[in-house]
Amino acid sequence: MRLCGGVISIFREMQKIGLFVVFNIVGTLLLAACSPTPAPEAAKPVSQAAPAEPPASGPAAEPALPASYKDVVFPEFKYVAPVPGEFRIQLAEGISGYIVSDRSLPLVNLTIYFEESNIPATIRDEAASGMVGSMLRRGAGGGMSPAALDDSLEFISASLSTGTGTFLASIDIDCLSKDYASMLALAKNVLTAPSFDKDQLEIVKANFVTAYERRYDTPAKVLSALRSKVNYAPNARLWDATGDEYKKVSVADVKRLAEGVFSSDRIVFALSGDVDRDSAVTQLKEFFAAWKVAAPKEPKPVPQPLSFIRKPGIYVVDKDISQANISMNQPFVKRPHPDYYPTAVASFILGGGSFTSRLMNRVRSDEGLAYSVYSSAGNDYRDTAMTTIALQTKVESADFAIKLVFEEIDKLAKDGPTPEELEQAKKSIVESLPSLFDSPEATAQIFAKDELLGKKQTHYVDFVNEVNAVTAEQVKAMTAKYFDKSKMTISVVGPVSKLEKLGTFTVVPLDSLEFR
């Protein structure tokens, strides 16, 4: 008891000096352990009377558990697509967005998309153009130094980030709901008057130089560059800067190319989290009314669509590795297009359905030639996409693996899918949609991006209907049309000396992969 008394005294002193929260659980256990043990209750006599009969109208017995998991019956899944219009707000001419309120956690995310092109007019400006997005935030502004900005954000566990791309510039704010109003004010001050701190620019330049020097470190990076090189015509959107060009970038270069960023006449925002819809609308109206960024002095170049300049065949980059990295590609469609949905279903059956797909079963499970092999039908609203079949396999088995791929394509194009394959593919594609909307933030951002791409408000309802309407004959036709061996480029990264079985192929030098 003397020991317990000492423990209790120590615990009470902890309470006085502010350590109650830290030791709350431990202290409670100690107090319970040191409390006097109550005397046991006297034993009660047990009645010898016969137990009463259960009432006739008692609760029904629960059904017995199934003998096997195979006997478990699940209710039919019925997907109800979200309707963007329920969340859409039109603040002013050219300013719209989506508010998805969720008060379960005190968190807020605001992403603002500005529709504006951000590509260089000359290849000389490519290096600096790539740094603009980072420097708008890292360079600080509005009279605040980068260190002060970082400290302010860290103190309240918030983040502020910026980015620029071919078609959009963006601002992203993450914070606690209590700090949301102050974060709006901070973002306006910093981003409407960026300072492009020179020391921060040196850090950004070093990062870009390092990325350039390591651009071909992995076979996957080489394959990606090779695939672009043998399929696309030169385009300003594909230009590659060199390490020396990154090193020469100055503050003046970045500042010149940043003129007019965030001055778009078309703005779409995505707000989600612990916000009241009506109050949020009022705040956003005030925020955008005070958002003043001058338009660029000179019109920016308009991004041109990517076009194909290609000759079907096999293209190889020589690299001394044991696994051949292979990508097979063919031009597809630009959405919206009626061929997209049946081709997506065909691709799922062919190679997009993981272990349920034909390519995975044949190339991996039956032959053991690859850990992963898959197909995809590109989904693009701005450019013509490509269909893809990709895999990695031992260099010695590259030709055999490609042969098996084409055999499976021919079978699907000729015989079509089984009823079970078709049903499973459509069911899996439809049931994957809810994962896109797994958080308020994801929901708001998807709706905002969809609006910028011009998708209809009924897009996700139409998606389900279109997928469910795909027929076996369509799958056959789309497989033959968009996975056609005679129209494919086959890009391979591997040692040339061990790829003779591929037949005739073109060797592409590693140092020729960049677009200039």
- pLDDT single digits (tens) 167-195: 999 999 999 999 999 999 999 999 999 99
Strands (E) located in 189-300: 267-273
- In this prediction, residues 193-221 reach a mean pLDDT of 97
Whole-Å CA distances, 499 to 322, 395, 494: 11, 7, 8
Beta-carbon contacts of residue 371 (< 8 Å; ≥ 6 apart): 364, 392
Can you give the pLDDT at residue 255? 96
Max mean pLDDT range (4-13, 28-37, 397-406) = 397-406
Task: Provide the pLDDT confidence category of residue 17 given band limits of 50, 70 and 90.
Answer: very low
Instruction: Give the strand pairing for 267-273 and 313-318.
Output: unpaired
Q: What is the pTM of this model?
A: 0.82
Q: Where are the alpha helices (DSSP H) in 416-513?
A: 419-431, 440-453, 459-468, 472-482
Q: Torsion angle of alpha carbons 121, 127, 129, 130, nearest 10°?
A: 140
Res 215 pLDDT > 50 = yes
Query: Mean pLDDT of all residues in the chain?
Result: 89
Three-class SS state of 208: helix
Topology of domain 313-512, CATH = Cytochrome Bc1 Complex; Chain A, domain 1 (3.30.830)
Superfamily holding 84-289: Metalloenzyme, LuxS/M16 peptidase-like (3.30.830.10)
Q: CA–CA separation, 374 vs 407, rounded Å?
A: 15
Task: Provide the pLDDT confidence category of residue 350 given band limits of 50, 70 and 90.
Answer: very high
Res 24 pLDDT > 70 = no
When mean pLDDT is compared across 17-21, 263-267, 366-370, 490-494, the lowest value belongs to: 17-21
* Listed residue (426, 456, 95, 470) closest to 266, CA to CA: 95
Res 61 pLDDT > 90 = no
The DSSP-derived string for 172-204 is EEEEEGGGHHHHHHHHHHHHSSB---HHHHHHH
Beta bridge partners of 400: none
Can you give the pLDDT at residue 77? 74
Query: pLDDT tens-digit profile of 394-408?
Result: 999 999 999 999 999
- In this prediction, residues 107-111 reach a mean pLDDT of 98
Can you give the pLDDT at residue 27? 43
- Percent of the chain surpassing pLDDT 70: 88
Res 25 pLDDT > 50 = no
Can you give the pLDDT at residue 60? 62
Check residue 1 and report its DSSP letter.
-
φ, ψ of residue 475 to 5 degrees: the values are -60, -45
